[in-house]
Amino acid sequence: MGERFDKGLAVRKQVLGEAPVAQRVSSAQGELNADLQQYLTEFAWGDIWSRRQLSLRDRSLATIAMLAAQNRPTELKTHIGGAINNGMTMEEVAEVFLHAAVYCGFPAAMTCMRLAREVAAAREGAPG
């Protein structure tokens, strides 16, 4: 698909994991959202996440904070896993959500903590 797509796909897989990204991209082939997946991979991952001004870890911290503020639980759950892959601890993830309680409200922070527990439990049950 091109250099931007390949660059973005590599970063996306590094952050979110090979299997989840492969599933999302392959399931979009021939579907209505194929163009969206291509644009997302090229722009968000190839152009923005690939920049060197912030580390992947810092980008993950900013991303989970912004998703918490926007109440986007599906993407948040995905990016909690990415934050762990990028070196954040579950304690640091929880601290982001505790901090979010001040600015986003306690209901949002409680949802975020529940999602973090789900991700942690899934990762503990995962082989390897």
**Residue 22: what pLDDT?**
85
pLDDT of res. 127: 56
Residue 125: predicted pLDDT = 83
How far apart CA 94 and CA 92 sit, in angstroms, is 5
User: Superfamily for 56-125?
Assistant: AhpD-like (1.20.1290.10)
Q: Could you tell me which residues come within 8 angstroms of residue 51 by beta carbon, excluding any fewer than 6 positions away?
A: none
| Residues of the chain where predicted confidence (pLDDT) is lower than 50 | 128
What's this model's pTM, rounded to 2 decimal places? 0.90
- pLDDT at residue 96, as a whole number: 98
Supply the pLDDT for residue 55: 98
pLDDT at position 128 is 46
For the chain, domain boundaries: 3-48, 56-125
Q: Are 54 and 25 in contact (CB under 8 A)?
A: no
Q: Give the integer Cα–Cα distance in Å for 23 and 4.
A: 20
How is residue 5 written in tokens? 């797509």
Rounded CA gap, 123 and 54, in Å?
A: 26
